[in-house]
Structure 1
Amino acid sequence: MKQIKTEARWKETFKVAWPLCLSYTPIGLACGILLHAAGFNTLLTGLVSLVIFSGGAQFLIAQMLTVNAPILTIVLMLFFLELRYALLGSSLSKYLQGESRSSIFTFALSLNDENYAVNYLKFATDKHWTPNDARQVEHWSLLFWTVSNIVGSLIGSVLSINLTVVDFALTALFIYMIVMQIKSRLSLLICIFSGALAAVCMIITKSTLGLVASTLIASFTGFLIEELLVKKRPASALLQDIGSRKGGPIIEEIEKKESDIL
């Protein structure tokens, strides 16, 4: 009987994580350089990368320190900026049922926007994807991010580099992650609404707190609209896949259940 050879699980999770790790490298280098310019030594840069593990938060820390912002202001800004992880974590909780508290704790510590998107997609499409696999993806991305930050700090200690391109690189990464997540017409509509709302909220608040407010409002609005359409109008065009004339994932699931009953 012919034996089927299977790869080690860490190799499979690395294959899933490596595009994410690759995209982290240039941004991580830039973040390390910027943190060094803000007064962080290499050891502190590595520690911040491990504890916070958020490009947006770390760039925010560096920028606010360069303008001598009070520590309390920085902490409050970070709290509201990272509050979105409560929403991200809650959407993954159904896949972590039965896990120990320590496992959930380590999973939560290494969660960020990008590995959340990768793991959510894998959980939704791969029935063999486990919480341990998801945790490995998070740890791979955390490893590459931390090492890139440390190397960036070392580069910043010997070179003077123009960092004006950093904001564009970070924005491009998040735009890519958004595009990867847009599938239905409703998600595209909410994405456009969220962008417009973020601009309005930031003009009103004159700070990044507007981003937190717009994220919460747009997420809640999208949830309400989706729930209403699923219950009242499951055949709505908004629930269909982009470019599809047939029913979207929700409609197909309903049709499948009906066929199973028959």
Structure 2
Amino acid sequence: MAKAQINPEKARWLEVLGVSMPLCLSYIPIGLACGILLHAAGFNFIMILLVSVLVFSGGAQFILASLLTVNSPLSTIFLSLFFLELRYALLGSSLSKYIKQESARFILVFSASMNDENYAINYMKFATDKKWTPDDALLVERYSLAAWSISNMVGGLIGGAISIDLEVVDFALTALFLYMIVMQVQNHLSFVICILASILGVYFLVLTKNTLGLIIATLLASFVGFAVENTVRHHSKDPSNNWFLTKMFRPQITKTTLEDKQAQEKKEIKEAEKLENKIENVVERHDEPKDDTQHHDEG
């Protein structure tokens, strides 16, 4: 009886789907809420679909709904979304080394569908799985985009039958940013910088009496974090084994990255070479007296 042949390509997309499934499921409640809020802000079904596909950012879409409900000027909406999405320049640069061999068209499509969550999955897979390819990473983005867009559209349809108080938008936005802060605090230095940013935010908000103070506080706190890390790296003889960088600055992860494995292998090779040299020295020292004794006996 012939054995059933498994299609490698089909098996691969199913495997990638399994990797991205937790993310897709987590998008359902947030996407429904976002669709309902966008409908309350005046978006119809088609507009919700376009915003979900083209923007593809929960934070940006929640802010968009919030600012539109309070009739904010277009310039304020544009600047708020610009500074919020500016972080993707840094996120994309950390993935560039893994997709730099791909075509410009691929990179354009990949960049357009990247967000915080699928970035986290792809970065971790690239760092820990040698078999993870750019095509797999693009599949993760497509799955997450489909789940997010469908959830938003369903939320938009439900929003027509549900009447909600628009004041809940402010609370939803605050809760979203609190969640983003908590998820980013993965080490002691990040926690200190968050506290510093909060203090500076309150100070400059009172000083300027404008939300521009929050932007100033964010930039100053980010600069302090960068300056601390850069100073320690510059003055450390061995940054990879520096206690401050590994314990205070580096995020705590549950998996060992490929860079960690390579560093560990190099360390083991050096230790093996040192041990081998010690053994050779001991053998040479042990042989020298025997040679002297033999020459003495021959004499």
TM-score (norm 2): 0.73
CA distance in 1: counterparts of 2:72 and 2:26, whole angstroms = 30
Corresponding position: 1:256 with 2:239: no
Q: Please tell me the residue identity of whatever aligns with 1:197.
A: L
Q: Which residue is 1:185 aligned to?
A: none
Deviations 1:183-216 (A, max 9, x none): xxxxx02320232133134322453535752674
Which SS does the other structure have where 1:114 is aligned? helix
**Residues 29 and 122 from structure 1, CA distance in 2 versus in 1: closer, same or farther, beyond 3 angstroms?**
same
CA distance in 1: counterparts of 2:217 and 2:48, whole angstroms = 26
When you count helix as a share of all residues, which structure comes out higher? 2
**Residues 123 and 214 from structure 1, CA distance in 2 versus in 1: closer, same or farther, beyond 3 angstroms?**
farther
Q: Is the 8 A contact 2:32 2:152 kept in 1?
A: yes
Following superposition, which runs of at least 4 residues in structure 1 exceed 6 angstroms of deviation? Answer: 248-252
Q: Is the 8 A contact 2:127 2:259 kept in 1?
A: no
Deviations 1:116-164 (A, max 9, x none): 1111111110010011101111111111111111111111111113546
How many equivalent residue pairs?
Answer: 251
Q: Which residue is 2:81 aligned to?
A: 78
Which SS does the other structure have where 2:114 is aligned? coil
Q: Is the 8 A contact 2:128 2:258 kept in 1?
A: no
Q: Which residue is 2:223 aligned to?
A: 217
CA distance in 1: counterparts of 2:215 and 2:229, whole angstroms = 21
Q: Please tell me the residue identity of whatever aligns with 1:68.
A: N
CA distance in 2: counterparts of 1:96 and 1:225, whole angstroms = 30
Q: Which residue is 2:282 aligned to?
A: none
Which SS does the other structure have where 1:12 is aligned? helix
Q: Which residue is 1:126 aligned to?
A: 129
Q: How does 1:1-262 map to 2 (within 5 A)?
A: 5=6, 8-161=11-164, 163=168, 166-167=172-173, 170-171=176-177, 174=180, 177-178=183-184, 182=186, 188-203=187-202, 204-205=204-205, 206-207=210-211, 209=215, 213=219, 216-217=222-223, 220-221=226-227, 223-224=229-230, 227-228=233-234, 231-232=237-238, 234-238=240-244, 239-240=246-247, 253-260=262-269, 262=273
CA distance in 1: counterparts of 2:85 and 2:217, whole angstroms = 11
**Residues 149 and 210 from structure 1, CA distance in 2 versus in 1: closer, same or farther, beyond 3 angstroms?**
farther
Q: Is the 8 A contact 2:24 2:143 kept in 1?
A: yes
Which SS does the other structure have where 1:53 is aligned? coil
**Residues 227 and 65 from structure 1, CA distance in 2 versus in 1: closer, same or farther, beyond 3 angstroms?**
same
TM-score (norm 1): 0.82
Deviations 1:90-140 (A, max 9, x none): 011011121000000000001111111111111110010011101111111
Segments of 5+ residues of structure 1 without an aligned counterpart are 183-187
Q: Please tell me the residue identity of whatever aligns with 1:91.
A: S
Which protein has the larger Cα radius of gyration, Structure 1 or Structure 2?
2
Which one has more relative contact order, counting CA pairs under 8 Å at least 6 apart? 1
